[in-house]
């Protein structure tokens, strides 16, 4: 429907940025499954992957 097309056009930029980030975490950092049992350890794994992702971005931006 035209309403849905307009909505998708409005959010496409934001969605692309988010989807790219998650795709990178899954593909490059192998974050497809959580390896640890327990919320604290699982959160630490995701946090470390996010830190590594941001450091890679920072290195690419600063050259």
pLDDT of residue 43: 94
In angstroms, the CA 32 to CA 14 distance is 22
Structural domain for 10, as ranges: 2-62
Instruction: Check pLDDT > 90 for residue 63.
Output: no
In angstroms, the CA 1 to CA 14 distance is 21
pLDDT of residue 49: 92
In angstroms, the CA 55 to CA 50 distance is 9
Give 3-51 pLDDT, tens digit per residue. Answer: 999 999 999 989 998 999 999 989 988 888 888 999 999 999 999 999 9
- pTM of the full predicted structure? 0.69
In sequence order, which ranges of the chain are alpha helices (DSSP H)?
A: 2-27, 39-62
Instruction: Name the nearest CA neighbour of 50 among 28, 14, 12, 15.
Output: 28
In angstroms, the CA 57 to CA 51 distance is 10
Q: How many structural domains does the chain have? A: 1
């Amino acid at each position: 429907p035209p309403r849905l097309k307009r909505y998708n056009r409005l959010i496409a930029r934001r969605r692309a940025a988010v989807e790219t980030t998650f795709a990178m975490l899954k593909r490059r950092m192998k974050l497809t499954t959580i390896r640890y049992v327990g919320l604290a350890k699982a959160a630490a794994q995701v946090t470390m992957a996010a830190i590594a992702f941001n450091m890679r971005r920072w290195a690419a931006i600063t050259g």
